[in-house]
Amino acid sequence: MRKRFSRLRDGLAKTRRAITEGIRGALGRGAGLDGAALDSIEETLIAADLGVETALHLIDALRERFGASGAATEVEVREFLALEIEKALRAAEKEGAQGEPGAPLVVMVAGVNGVGKTTTIGKLSRLHADKGRSVILAAADTFRAAANEQLSIWADRSDAQFVAGQPGGDAAAVAYDALDAAIARSADVLIVDTAGRLHTQKNLMQELVKVKRVLGKRLESAPDELLLVIDANTGQNALSQARVFDEALGLTGLVLTKLDGTARGGIVVAIARELAIPVQFVGTGEAIDDLEPFDSAAFARGLLGVDEAPPEIA
């Protein structure tokens, strides 16, 4: 537990540094939370990719809370913002799907090229396997030649079974066959990998819609989860990606990858608040255990540097 907590904290380090330094700078002029300080905090929040709308909302809340006297310490401002952000994240929270009793939980994973879909699937597979569930991974990315091999390596690493796709073949057929196999073998979880790039974005969407539809033909409840993977470095464009995929597919959740090394982790808050799609997992590295279930409170506190964890005992 301790380890997971610090991994999220480490992942948020750059974003946290930018935000806390911004708040310190805004208050450092000694005039409290006056108009200039609020403007400066607003800029800081926007720079960390919380989004203009969310930043304005937070500034309004700050003004309301501390406006009368303008007196506020840096810690008070950080704690207040952490609570407000936690509230916004909680509003988008949703219970994860359980799947139909007696049928596999079917998770379809989508996202644009290179965001970390296949890697996330490997990590997710490991999380399920660690809970004693049998997992099948399906390579419905028939577009990229190396996609099969990459996913089969993750299947090995996470003790999952693997259903291969035909390069250049029909992605929906792979998904259908894999679900068929998952049902026949009484697997607990089926995770379907999909392509990130086709000739055009429109082709990609059509293919994904077809994969989804075909899964539903084999098992009415499928897919139980439709996860969009987003690279945390994408910034505000992540919002439009989420909108486009949500309109076409109906997303049940997001996975935010590459949180390690970005100073733009605030995008999580913007998406949760503006699109009301819950973040389900965050990726904090390239290794198999660098994925963790999203925790609104831990994320908000990590972002604002509240409740600093005690130093690791050597």
Ligand X SMILES: Nc1nc2c(ncn2[C@@H]2O[C@H](COP(=O)(O)OP(=O)(O)OP(=O)(O)O)[C@@H](O)[C@H]2O)c(=O)[nH]1
Residues at the interface with ligand X (CB under 6 A)? 111, 113-119, 141, 144, 147, 196-197, 257-258, 260-261, 283-286, 290
Instruction: Kindly tell me which residue out of 15, 20, 44, 118 binds Mg ion, with binding defined by CB under 5 A.
Output: 118
In whole angstroms, what is the distance from residue 219 CA to residue 202 CA? 26
- Residue 40 CB: number of other CB atoms within 10 A? 17
Spell out a b/e string for 134-173, using b for 16 or more CB atoms within 10 Å of the CB, else e.
Answer: bbbbbbbbbbeeebbebbbebbeebebbbbbbeeeebbbb
Give least dist CB 258 to ligand X, A: 4
In whole angstroms, what is the distance from residue 159 CA to residue 122 CA? 10
Instruction: State both tokens at 118.
Output: 């296949």
Q: Which is nearer to ligand X, 81 or 140 (CB)?
A: 140
* 78 contact choice in ligand X, Mg ion, none (CB below 5 to 8 Å, kind-dependent): none
Give least dist CB 147 to Mg ion, A: 6
Among 21-29, 56-64, 116-124, 296-304, the segment contacting Mg ion (CB under 5 A): 116-124
Question: Is 212 a residue that touches Mg ion (CB under 5 A)?
Answer: no
Instruction: State both tokens at 309.
Output: 């964890």
Give least dist CB 157 to ligand X, A: 13
* 264 contact choice in Mg ion, ligand X, none (CB below 5 to 8 Å, kind-dependent): none
Question: Is 117 a residue that touches Mg ion (CB under 5 A)?
Answer: yes
Q: Which is nearer to ligand X, 73 or 113 (CB)?
A: 113
- Residue 288 CB: number of other CB atoms within 10 A? 15
Among 37-45, 118-126, 268-276, 299-307, the segment contacting Mg ion (CB under 5 A): 118-126
In the numeric block, the tokens 């720079």 are attached to 47
> Smallest Cα–Cα separation from 170: which of 204, 200, 143?
143
Q: Which is nearer to ligand X, 99 or 116 (CB)?
A: 116
Residues in contact with Mg ion by CB under 5 A are 117-118
